[in-house]
Amino acid sequence: MENTDERRMMERVEIPGLRVRYKKLGFLNIFNSFSELKPLKDIHLNGACFEIDKPLKQGDIICLEISAGKNYTINVSGNTKWISGLPYKNTECAGVQFFQYGCKERYDAVTHMERLKLLTENIEPELH
């Protein structure tokens, strides 16, 4: 039976071992540091869901540093779309929609999209 509650246009992918650090962006958050590495629950080209340890709220603009290995990271920015509790883990998760890819202000680099595409298609990234 098809899930009619799903609003995403792209299928989410769970990738074991993928982790993320994040920080809020904006003038008042200039000196914010990145969070600790947290598990990334799922990801696709347009967004991600991950555990949080620093407070976020819907609408926060954040920078993500996604780690897929010791020498393979992807930096993307996006808008926090939702926050939800995980009672069985006593923690919260955030859902983030990535900014569009391109060369304009508030766009994520096209090269980051290509690297995300490799991950979401389960292609082993070339580690540099």
Burial of 81 (0-12, 13-18, 19+ CB in 10 A): middle
The answer to whether 21 touches 35, Cβ cutoff 8 Å, is yes
* CATH (domain of 114): 2.40.10.220
Residue 27: which domain range? 19-120
Q: What is the pLDDT of residue 62?
A: 93
Residue 48 lies in a domain: yes
Q: How far is CA 32 from CA 13, 15, 24, 27, 95, in A?
A: 29, 28, 7, 10, 20
Per the domain annotation, does 75 fall within a domain?
yes
Instruction: Name the stretches of the chain with pLDDT < 70.
Output: 1-11, 27-30, 86-88, 102-110, 112, 122-128
Angle value at C-alpha 113, between 30 and 62, nearest 5 degrees: 20
Give per-residue pLDDT as tens, 71-100: 788 888 899 999 998 666 778 899 999 888
pLDDT of residue 99: 85
